[in-house]
Amino acid sequence: MADIGVVVRWTSAEQRFTCDGRSGSIALNAGSGDGVGPMEALAQAMAACMAADVVEILAKMRVPLSSLEVRVAGDRAPEPPRRYTALRLEWRAGVAKESEGKLRRAVELSREKYCSVMHSLRSDIQWGTEIVLV
């Protein structure tokens, strides 16, 4: 059995999709209309994954955290595939000045070891495709 399962359904003639997973649903818009696009959702997922890691790591380090906000800015290639060529994360954390080093270490650990979203984009991922006509 797979660790995760999602179903993505096209919902209209435009580029709107409903994405259902075991724990909930989200709507994505891959076109130019309103709604979250897949690339923006990817950046959000990565930032949320890293933020969850950082919250957990800081708790284990016994660093009090009063707030956390991650702001992501990304640059994309001008031609297809319009992949991200750069991502910059700004961490705004409510921690004491003397805990800044621990915050930096928590962010580094998430990026280098723990963020499953980021590491799922590695080039060694195994892909499989099956076509079913309905």
Q: Are residues 24 and 75 in the same domain?
A: no
> Structurally, how many domains does the chain consist of?
2
Give this prediction's pTM: 0.90
Same structural domain, 88 and 24: no
The answer to whether 65 touches 93, Cβ cutoff 8 Å, is yes
Residue 59, C-beta contacts closer than 8 angstroms, at least 6 positions apart: 65
Q: What is the pLDDT of residue 5?
A: 95
Taking the CB of residue 12, how many other CB atoms lie within 10 A of it?
10
Say if 125 falls within a structural domain.
no
> Both 9 and 52 in a single domain?
no
Kindly give the confidence (pLDDT) of every residue in the chain, 134 residues in length, as a single tens digit, with 9 standing for 90 and above. 789 999 999 998 789 999 999 999 999 999 877 789 999 999 999 999 999 999 999 999 999 999 999 999 999 999 999 999 999 999 999 999 999 999 999 999 999 999 999 999 888 989 999 999 99
Q: Collapse the DSSP code of 38 into the 3-class scheme (helix H, G, I; strand E, B; otherwise coil) and give the result.
A: helix
C-alpha 110/C-alpha 47 separation (Å) is 10
Output the pLDDT for position 83.
93
Q: Are residues 72 and 107 in the same domain?
A: yes
Does 62 fall in a domain?
yes
